[in-house]
């Protein structure tokens, strides 16, 4: 194999190289989707249907990618998405990712299901200050997680709301994947969890158990009452749900389909974004994840209403290939590509990235 095949120059190269670093089970978990993986594919294909209409002769000094969000300043709008069980990719796990995010000034959202304790990861740097939360069946368990996050210095809670049950992960099933002990969710260890009820023969465990303990809008309102941290709800695809969330008083919305890992054939996130942006206007910031693989994707997302994007699979592929250095390189590549895209589209600041920069091509 020659040098060109070894040296990654874009996210796709890291994804290709990761396939040779991970065993079949870890690869299935970290990079796979639900069922036939159609939504996962649509997330990517939807970006490819969007064309950029660049503006020219708009140079000048003072350009930057700086972002003001929820009262804080960020160097750029490329965030690290909450991705669980990162020790599947590399022994350093989330700690390696946090160090890389700090080096690249990228805000990192730590997964509730991280394979390291939140306190240990938070100590790695100031860019890891958002904590992703799954509402627990027992409210006292949720409060315990929130208090730990507050004490560790996390400044924002990102509440994932789109996975009351797991999707049908056929790729993981075919690989016979089982979570190894070293990659288990450390933040959930020891928390109370209601035992599944005894169901009569033929009863549905989905409706007889999981939906009975699934979060509701009332739980989001309750969560707001027990913490002063800003709450972003992650997993919204419908404009009516976005309006509900804003009316309850959330601080932000993450337009997400869980990376295509829950409901297969759900709408691609970039396709859902414009209607949500139209429904909520400028009332709250909008984040987007799913399918972001190029700096041009970041430009397109911001043009269609996103405030920032989050990247997950590219990060764990970088981690699998080269640990902390791999994650750092992935984030640097995306930021460099984004700056190039801005410059070539005639944008010197994020405020210049407007909807007239893009058009959706016919299918």
Token pair recorded at residue 95: 């700690």
Catalytic residue set: 258
Nearest to 84 by CA among 288, 266, 331, 316: 316
Tell me how far apart the alpha carbons of residues 19 and 316 are, in angstroms, rounded to a whole number.
11
SS3 310: strand
Question: Which residues have C-beta within 8 Å of that of residue 51, sequence separation ≥ 6?
Answer: 358, 359, 360, 361
The residues that bridge with 33 in the sheet, in sequence order, are: none
Token pair recorded at residue 296: 């041009």
SS3 180: coil
8-state DSSP, 88? G
DSSP string, 233-292: EEEE-SHHHHHHHHHHT-SEEEE--GGGTSSTTPPPHHHHHHHHHHHHTTSS-EEEESS-
């Amino acid at each position: 194999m020659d040098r060109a095949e070894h040296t990654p120059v874009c996210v796709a190269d890291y994804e290709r190289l990761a396939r040779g670093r991970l065993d079949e089970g870890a690869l299935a978990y970290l990079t796979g989707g639900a069922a036939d993986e159609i939504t996962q594919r649509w997330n990517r294909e939807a970006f490819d249907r969007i064309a950029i209409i660049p503006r020219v002769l708009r140079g000048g000094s003072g350009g930057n990618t700086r972002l003001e969000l929820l009262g804080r300043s960020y160097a750029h709008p490329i965030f690290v998405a909450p991705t669980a069980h990162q020790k599947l990719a590399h022994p350093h796990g989330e700690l390696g990712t946090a160090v890389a995010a700090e080096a690249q000034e990228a805000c990192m959202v730590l997964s509730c299901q991280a394979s390291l304790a939140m306190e240990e990861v938070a100590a790695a740097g100031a860019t890891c200050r958002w904590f992703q939360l799954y509402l627990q069946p027992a409210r006292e368990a949720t409060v315990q997680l929130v208090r730990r996050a507050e004490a560790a210095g996390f400044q924002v809670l990102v509440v994932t709301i789109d996975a009351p049950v797991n999707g049908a992960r056929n790729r993981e099933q075919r690989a016979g994947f089982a979570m190894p002990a070293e990659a288990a969710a450390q933040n959930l260890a020891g928390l109370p969890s209601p035992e599944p009820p005894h169901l009569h023969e033929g009863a549905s465990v989905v409706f007889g158990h999981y939906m009975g303990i699934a979060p509701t809008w009332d739980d989001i309102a309750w969560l707001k009452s027990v913490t002063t941290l800003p709450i972003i709800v992650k997993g919204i695809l419908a404009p009516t749900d976005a309006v509900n969330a804003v009316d309850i008083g959330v601080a932000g919305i993450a337009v997400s389909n869980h990376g295509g890992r829950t409901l297969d054939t759900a709408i691609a996130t970039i396709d859902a974004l414009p209607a949500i942006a139209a429904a909520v206007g400028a009332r709250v910031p909008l984040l987007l994840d799913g399918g972001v693989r190029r700096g041009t994707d970041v430009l397109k997302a911001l043009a269609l209403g996103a405030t920032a994007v989050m990247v997950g699979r590219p990060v764990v592929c970088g981690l699998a290939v080269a640990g902390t250095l791999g994650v750092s390189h992935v984030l640097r590549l995306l930021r460099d590509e984004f700056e190039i895209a801005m410059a070539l589209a005639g944008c010197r600041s994020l405020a210049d990235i407007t909807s007239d920069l893009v058009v959706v091509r016919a299918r």
